[in-house]
Structure 1
Amino acid sequence: MADLDGKTALVTGGTSGIGLAVVRRFVTEGAHVVVTGRSAGKLDDVKRELGDRVTTVQGDVSSLDDLDRVYAAVAERGTGLDVVFANAGGGEFAALEEITWEHFTTTFESNVGGTVFTVQKALPHLNPGAAVVLTSSNIDVKGSASFSVYAASKAAIRSFARSWAAELVDRGIRVNAVAPGPIATPGLSGLAAEPEQAEALLGGLASGVPMRRLGTPEEIADAVLYLASPRSSYVTGAELYVDGGASQI
């Protein structure tokens, strides 16, 4: 039997990179996946690829109205939720003297606010024994020059995993975080303004990893599957680093 056979999962930010890899893995493991993303075209691509194993809903997690539409789609299915992967978010480089209010609020509204209200609005739909997985980052313990706002937002995610695990344990709901290191995704290369800069950025990040390479979205999907499945039934409040040893060695 597949790890998520007959389960219903929600993946936010599921149209590319880590999110899309998780959607594919969950479907392979037997789940029906509700997928959110901001791009209607990318959602259409996901639907064409995975068919009736997914329900796609366009929306931005920083919009409460959009989240209400997501959970209306969940309610319409009538199966509740067994897994929530709160993944949507992002960030941009800005040195301390360059940080603007817009940069700060955009990052925190998406990464922090989006995660808070994605999970809060999921509560009425979570089945007994459900698993919530949050996307943090190994930067939450490392820090990075010119990436401080993003790092702070991910440190908040780590804190949420602990606090929410304590709040929801009596419902049999587990809450954990997955902390990727540098992963070869469009979002990572998109931090650079030009292709040449992207190549230098990715090479520099890979050189800082003990394994001397970037991770793949599929490697993160494997970790998320573990935290989402009964295989991690005695794990809650934890953060699983999947970063080639960068935060540990």
Structure 2
Amino acid sequence: MGKLNNKVAVITGGNSGIGLATAILFAKEGAKVAITGRDEKTLQQAAQEIGDDAVAIRADIRDLSTLETAYQRVGAQLGKVDILIVNAGVFKGSPLAGYTEELFDEISDINFKGTFFTIQKALPYLNDGASIVITGSAASEAGLEGASAYSATKAAVRSLARNFSADLLARGIRVNVLSPGHVDTPIHERLGLSDEQVIALRANLATTVPIKRGGTLEEMAGGYLFLASNDSTFMVGAEIVMDGGWQQL
């Protein structure tokens, strides 16, 4: 315990799933935590779960003005930022022939453009030596039916980690990527499926994983903790893949 004592951490998309689990762990490890998200109700619920005076800020990474406002509020309430977890993102699939321009733009604007400017707009508010972690995806290295735009955006943010690290070397700011595979998250419930269908979907997905199960939120949070803490100070522009062996076996 205490790996993040007195550190200020900002987690985008911190109001549910992997982001919320990471925020809870960071608070337990001594960090002062701010989360952002688009839904005010879930933000306030998440802040209560995190505890320790967590700051919850409504922001949409597609709207650069809300990013500016969020960082200004974090700076005023918590101070300069030591850890930035760029986790806000979306998965939506479609057969190639049916991909609309609107769907393509939505996925690109959130996953790629949103990630780019979430980091760029943070620069004046980051301490030198800060750690930035981008949420990637094991899918960035695979060919998956119906996931072309999503997978491409995750390959793009993997590239951003390398290039941003080069840009920020003089400030000692590290940019790395954590790429989950199949993880049991609340995103499945948001697909409009029944409880039975969600269980069946997760069971089916687990069959594609060599260790025959999905990852847990706590496992993913542990990966972010490693990349955010001084345990990973020799990692720059790198990627940790947490997918139960899906890419490798």
Q: Is this contact kept in 1: 2:8–2:78, CA < 8 A?
A: no
Size of the alignment, in residue pairs?
249
The answer to whether 1:101 aligns with 2:86 is no
**Following TM superposition, by how much is the alpha carbon of 1:201 offset from its aligned partner in structure 2, in angstroms?**
2.6
- Residue 125 of structure 1, CA deviation: 1.1
Counting only pairs closer than 5 Å after superposition, residues 145-160 of structure 1 correspond to structure 2 as 145-160=145-160
Q: Taking every aligned residue pair, what percent have the same amino acid on both sides?
A: 42
Partner of residue 3, structure 2: 3
State the alpha-carbon separation in 1 of the partners of residues 148 and 203 from structure 2: 21
Tell me if the contact between 1:189 and 1:202 (Cα under 8 Å) persists in the aligned partners. Answer: no
Runs (5+) with no aligned partner, structure 1: none
- Partner-residue secondary structure (3-state), 1:156: helix
Indicate the larger mover: 177-186 or 197-206: 197-206
Q: 2:228 aligns to what?
A: 228
Q: CA RMSD in A?
A: 1.5
Q: Compute the displacement of 1:78 (Å).
A: 5.6
Match of 2:214 in 1: 214
Q: Secondary structure at the match of 1:235?
A: coil
Amino acid at match of 2:225: L
Are the structure 2 counterparts of residues 138 and 174 from structure 1 closer, same or farther at C-alpha, using a change threshold of 3 Å? Answer: same
Aligned to 1:29: 29
- Equivalents in 1 of 2:246, 2:230: separation in Å? 28
Task: Please give the alpha-carbon distance, in whole angstroms, between the structure 2 residues aligned to 1:52 and 1:215.
Answer: 27
TM-score norm. by structure 2 comes to: 0.95
- TM-score (structure 1 length as normaliser): 0.95
Deviation at 1:50, TM superposition (A): 3.1
Cα distance between partner residues in 1 of 2:211 and 2:25? 24
Per-residue Cα deviation, 1:115-151 (whole angstroms, up to 9, x for no partner)? 1111001111111210000000000001210111111
State the Cα distance separating 1:190 from its structure 2 match: 3.3
**Helix, strand or coil at the partner of 2:123:** helix
Task: Tell whether 2:135 aligns with 1:138.
Answer: no
Q: Which residue of 1 aligns with 2:113?
A: 113
Query: Counterpart of 1:135 in structure 2: which amino acid?
Result: T
Q: Distance in 2 between matches of 1:113 and 1:17?
A: 22
Contact 1:182–1:188 (8 Å) recurs in 2: no
Q: One-letter code of the match for 1:156? A: A
Specify the code of the residue in structure 2 equivalent to 1:106: E
